[in-house]
Structure 1
Amino acid sequence: MKNFKQKGDILTLISVAAIASGAGLLVGSIFGITQKAVGAGEEVDVLREGVFTVPKNSAEAWTVGAKVYWDDTAKVFTITNTTDTLVGVAYAIAANPSAIGTVLLDGAIR
């Protein structure tokens, strides 16, 4: 197939800010988990699909299958839908309070 460029599960993006390895990165409507630490304006590969242990809004209890959003201001995952970007679902129960959750990213652009 002549028009195939690459799989979409790992993409190279330009980081909009300094970011740690394993952090969430939102560029436009594309969301992924960074594979290394980079500075602002640097290229970084992001994983768009898979199961990840992530920082969450500690004041929330997550149930399996609950929709999970990325809060780009607080840089945490949340189940509260305000203006945040839907990125996947909770893959495991997470207590309130707890700072860590498990999320399944599905790679969809929303």
Structure 2
Amino acid sequence: MKIFVQEGRTLDFVADGAVKAGVPVLVGVILVIPATNAAAGQTYSGWIEGVFVLPCQGQAWATNCIALYWDAANARVTTSANGNTKIGMTAAPKVAADIVGNVKLLPSV
């Protein structure tokens, strides 16, 4: 098909500052998981869709499909929308003591 460009699970970005592979970066309204390290001004590839194990606030997730948000001030996922950016949903339940959780990224538009 002549109009198809790519699947869109990953995109290329130009780093505003240093980025490290696997460390989430908020780019506009999308949480990006860099696939490679990059210095400021360099281009890097990052995932914008998929399920990732990410740092989380100490909250229990009773089920899948609970809305999740990125708390940029603390660099972690939370269920609180207050002042945070919606990034996806829970992909598995977790107990409050867990400091990481399975997160399904859903790009915002």
* Bin of the TM-score, shorter chain as denominator length: 0.7 to 0.9
**Structure 1 unpaired stretches of 5+:** none
Aligned residue number for residue 88 of structure 1: 88
Q: Decide whether the 8 Å contact of 2:30 with 2:87 is kept in 1.
A: no
Aligned residue number for residue 109 of structure 1: 108
Q: Distance in 2 between matches of 1:19 and 1:60?
A: 27
1:25-68: per-residue Cα shift (whole Å, max 9, x none)? 221123221112222322111111111111111x2112321111
Q: Decide whether the 8 Å contact of 1:13 with 1:46 is kept in 2.
A: yes
**Structure 2 unpaired stretches of 5+:** none
Aligned-residue CA RMSD in angstroms? 1.8
Aligned residue number for residue 18 of structure 1: 18
Shift of 1:86: 0.9
User: Percent identity at matched positions?
Assistant: 30
1:58-105: per-residue Cα shift (whole Å, max 9, x none)? x21123211111122221111111121111111111211221110111
Letter of the structure 2 residue corresponding to residue 109 of structure 1: S
What is the TM-score normalised by the length of structure 2?
0.84
Q: Distance in 2 between matches of 1:72 and 1:43?
A: 22
